[in-house]
Copies of this chain bind each other. A is one copy, B any other.
Amino acid sequence: MRLTNATSVKKSVKQGIRAVAARAGVSTASVSRALNNPDAVSPSLRARIEQAIDALGYIPHAPARILSSRRSRTLGAIVPTIDNTMFARGIASLQHYLSSVGYMLFLTTSGYDLDVELQQARNLISRGVDGLVLRGDCHHDGLRKLLADNAVPFINVGIYQPDRPYPCVGTDNEAAAHRAAAHVIELGHRRIGIVSALQRNNDRASARVAGFRRALAENGLELPPQWHVEVPYTLDDAREAARYLLNLKDRPTAVVCGNDVIAYGVLLEAERDGFSVPRDLSVVGFDDLDWSRHLRPSLTTIHVPTGETWQRAGEYLVRSLAGEQTIMHREVDFSLVVRESTAPPPKSPK
């Protein structure tokens, strides 16, 4: 056995697409075509190639494919946290949709930190994502520049801002919050408190607060500073805030909340302090989580179709990438769900 011989043999068939090509007796170009555009290759060749493919258990190497074709069929998503039912829902829905159209998803979390978000974006772009799904429109300036410089398509999800030059899809949180507050006002409440989520780097939370406030202002209602509390996304913090509000000398008869978790905390604390909801206190949530209708009393809240929202975000990007014309600003409807936790205020609000 000659070395020259061995060398030439070793070199002839290694692995990957060339091995398939060799086995099927065709060129790599044909194998590639059979894989990406089956109609462009004759049935006989296609059959030979397919047979070679699963005889060899061939799995195409995506990075090589991406390198050569400059398309990854991968989207990136950056969410503040996955540890929030609404985001988990949205991501699940987005991912389900993407996999149905042959795309993959790179998911990262920023923890509401703009610098981290920028870093993640850089990472994702380096990974070759075709587009980016971002939560809201509260971003680092560098992020906008980065996206522009690299011509990366993106969409802001979970907000609706038709006046901005960036694409977005989501519900109008300000309007929805306005609706929630209007509901208790219509019931006759005049003394309304707010327990919101932390507004820092969170345009969704801010928009909701703005909506609450606008409704109060439009109806000539005061909002004493001590009636507005901001809390992190945990039951304990919500309870603490509720305890504070309910123990004020001069306390509200209704509380509108930035989300359902907060509302649940308020409900729990109200019960513990001997208040009856909705007799002594009305409570409105926001998001309509699964268990909200199971609570006692069941929670009046704003229903937001998260799954649909995130799926549409995916659709927008996939369509844009396919060169189709799509709507830049898409509004997703919310709805007020009236349940047991709201009622007219007590006659003598002691």
A interface residues (Cβ-Cβ under 8 A, vs B): 57, 59-64, 66-67, 72, 81-83, 85, 88-89, 91-92, 95-96, 99, 104-109, 122-123, 125-128, 149-150, 234-235, 239, 264-265, 268, 271, 290-291, 294, 296
Contacts and interface: CB of A to CB of B under 8 A. Distances in A.
A309 B122 CA distance: 29
A149 B57 contact: yes
A67 B66 CA distance: 10
B88 A83 contact: yes
Chain A binding surface SS class: helix
28 contacts: A57-B149, A59-B122, A59-B126, A59-B150, A61-B126, A61-B128, A62-B126, A62-B127, A63-B64, A63-B66, A63-B67, A63-B127, A63-B128, A81-B92, A83-B89, A83-B92, A88-B88, A95-B107, A95-B108, A95-B109, A96-B109, A104-B106, A105-B107, A234-B290, A235-B291, A239-B294, A264-B294, A271-B296
A348 B62 CA distance: 67
8 shortest interchain CB distances as A-B pairs = A63-B63, A63-B66, A88-B88, A82-B92, A62-B127, A63-B67, A59-B126, A83-B92
